[in-house]
């Protein structure tokens, strides 16, 4: 199906403007030692109803709504950007997890997840949030999403912050990212359960739950979704390191011989398709594909890096810009609630992570640095908001609060760590021997 010249022009102009805004403000954010994702979302925010729609609504409507192909086209780019973001995050998940700091990782992960999750449930008992329910009208699914928003930590954002600060090789970075791995796996399992609760019966006739006659909201259905999500994640552990490399080396693999890059993209799409058939959210298929592809070698590793570079050059900035353009701070933002939500979420997460770090033997300075770093909700927080909005679990007002929470906590974490490095003379943990071998001077922003 081909597009008319007018529709194609509208779509391409929208993509060009979003990319220019995302990369321009993303570069500026990096220069200011802030997460690039914050600038990318801000770029979309400026082109959305919050700024351009307020100043020149006719222009905003003409650029992003009038073309027949603009909304569907941007929707496709949005979905592809989300899948590639999860693919790249999956590759980081597999390579990050470390056993060297198991005690600290386990202690912080347990308290840093359980306490905020339970605190989120308690918050809902004291504060009326029914107005934030989405079209699906499922209170239980909303409660799960709300509680997850309190506990989530961003691997892509915090790893990018620590890379820019030159501390990725330290014990501090290993602990932070290992905790984030465990937290994110829990988040994804619970999120899939919430998505299953709002799945309309008989919505997809070609899926295993439908073929088995499972009702999404039933006890048996809930048990199925939890079990199949855990089993899907277990694929990366059961098949183990080298799975993607072994598949690539199969003698009859003509696709890999033709193009290692195409082989990885087909692996991504195949596992995403398998996930949707099993009733698992497609983002988990992309995540597991990235985990399986994390230990590729030689030309296959080069191909994976090519996917990574192109994704972060085109699809992922476009995804975050579309997230920004969906924000409407004029009509769908409640400042009073957001300030309360932000303060409660940050304090709960920070105190629980601090307590976990102290119980694991960290000093006060190191425990606070870990607590603030693990408060960065970034990418997963935004994915949680986007997926929940698309599923009808939350409305646009709460979506806006979740995205703003992810942005502000990420900026706060980056700023805190930069100051902490200067005050601690390059060390973030009281007993971190690795940091003593790091340069004492902070790198200049790229």
Selected residue with higher pLDDT from 66 and 364: 364
What domains does the chain contain, in order, with CATH numbers? 84-437 (1.20.1530.20)
33 Rama sector, left if φ>0, alpha if ψ -120 to 50, beta otherwise: left
Q: Report which DSSP code applies to 435.
A: G
pLDDT at 96: 55
404 — pLDDT class (breaks 50, 70, 90): very high
Q: pLDDT exceeding 70 applies to what percent of the chain?
A: 88
Selected residue with higher pLDDT from 376 and 394: 394
Q: Report which DSSP code applies to 45.
A: H
Read off the pTM.
0.80
432 pLDDT more than 80:
no
45 pLDDT more than 80:
yes
pLDDT at 437: 41
pLDDT at 315: 93
76 — pLDDT class (breaks 50, 70, 90): very high
Overall average pLDDT of the 194-212 stretch: 73
Q: Which residues of 180-200 are buried (b: 16+ CB within 10 A; e: fewer)?
A: bbbbbbbbbbbbbbbbbbbbe
pLDDT at 206: 72
318 pLDDT more than 90:
yes
CA distances from 178 to 117, 132, 285, 370, 435 (A): 19, 33, 21, 12, 17
C-alpha angle 24/27/33, rounded to 5°? 145
pLDDT at 24: 96
C-alpha angle 337/391/336, rounded to 5°? 5
38 pLDDT more than 70:
yes
Alpha-carbon span 446 to 438, nearest angstrom: 18
Selected residue with higher pLDDT from 303 and 432: 303
Pair 20, 12: CB distance under 8 Å: no
217 pLDDT more than 70:
no
CA distances from 413 to 34, 122, 280, 395 (A): 9, 25, 32, 27
SS3 category, 216? coil
Selected residue with higher pLDDT from 19 and 9: 19
Selected residue with higher pLDDT from 271 and 208: 271
- What is the DSSP code string of 127-169? S--GGGB-TT--HHHHHHHHHHHHH---HHHHHHHHHHTT-TT
| From 36-45, 70-79, 157-166, 357-366, the region with the lowest mean pLDDT | 157-166
CA dihedral 176, 177, 180, 181 (to 10 degrees): -150
| From 19-23, 158-162, 411-415, the region with the lowest mean pLDDT | 158-162
163 — pLDDT class (breaks 50, 70, 90): low
Pair 182, 204: CB distance under 8 Å: no
| From 92-106, 152-166, 361-375, the region with the lowest mean pLDDT | 92-106
2 — pLDDT class (breaks 50, 70, 90): confident
436 pLDDT more than 50:
no
């Amino acid at each position: 199906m081909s597009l008319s010249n007018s529709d194609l022009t509208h779509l391409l102009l929208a993509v060009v403007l979003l990319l220019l805004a995302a990369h321009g403000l993303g570069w500026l954010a990096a220069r200011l030692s802030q997460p690039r994702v914050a600038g990318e979302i801000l770029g979309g925010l400026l082109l959305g109803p919050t700024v351009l729609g307020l100043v020149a609504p006719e222009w905003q409507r003409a650029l992003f709504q009038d073309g027949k192909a603009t909304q569907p086209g941007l929707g496709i780019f949005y979905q592809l950007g989300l899948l590639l973001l999860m693919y790249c995050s999956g590759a980081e998940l597999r390579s990050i997890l470390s056993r060297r700091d198991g005690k600290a990782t386990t202690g912080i992960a347990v308290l840093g997840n359980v306490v905020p999750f339970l605190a989120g449930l308690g918050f809902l008992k004291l504060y009326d949030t029914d107005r934030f329910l989405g079209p699906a009208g499922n209170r239980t699914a909303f409660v799960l999403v709300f509680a997850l928003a309190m506990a989530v930590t961003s691997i892509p954002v915090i790893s990018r912050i620590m890379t820019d600060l030159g501390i990725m090789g330290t014990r501090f970075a290993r602990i932070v990212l290992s905790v984030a791995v465990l937290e994110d796996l829990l988040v994804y399992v619970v999120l899939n359960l919430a998505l299953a609760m709002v799945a309309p019966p008989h919505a997809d006739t070609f899926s295993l739950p439908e073929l088995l006659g499972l009702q999404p909201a039933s006890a048996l259905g809930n048990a199925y979704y939890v079990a199949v999500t855990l089993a899907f994640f277990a694929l990366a552990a059961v098949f183990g390191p080298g799975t993607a490399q072994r598949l690539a080396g199969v003698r009859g693999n003509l696709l890999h011989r033709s193009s290692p890059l195409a082989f990885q993209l087909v692996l991504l799409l195949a596992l995403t398709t398998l996930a949707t058939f099993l009733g698992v959210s497609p983002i988990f298929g992309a995540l597991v594909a990235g985990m399986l592809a994390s230990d590729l070698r030689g030309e296959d590793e080069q191909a994976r890096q090519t996917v990574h570079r192109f994704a972060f050059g085109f699809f992922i900035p476009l995804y975050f810009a579309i997230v920004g353009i969906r924000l409407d701070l004029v009509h769908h933002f409640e400042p009073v609630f957001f300030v309360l939500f932000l303060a409660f979420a940050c304090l709960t997460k920070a105190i629980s992570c601090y307590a976990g770090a102290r119980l694991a033997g960290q000093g006060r300075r190191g425990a606070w640095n870990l607590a603030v770093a693990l408060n960065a909700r970034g990418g997963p927080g935004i994915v949680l908001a986007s997926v929940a909005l698309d599923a009808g679990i939350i409305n646009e007002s709460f979506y806006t609060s979740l995205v703003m929470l992810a942005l502000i906590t990420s900026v706060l974490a980056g700023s805190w760590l930069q100051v902490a490095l200067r005050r601690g003379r390059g060390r973030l943990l009281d007993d971190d021997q690795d940091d003593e071998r790091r340069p004492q001077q902070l790198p200049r922003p790229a």
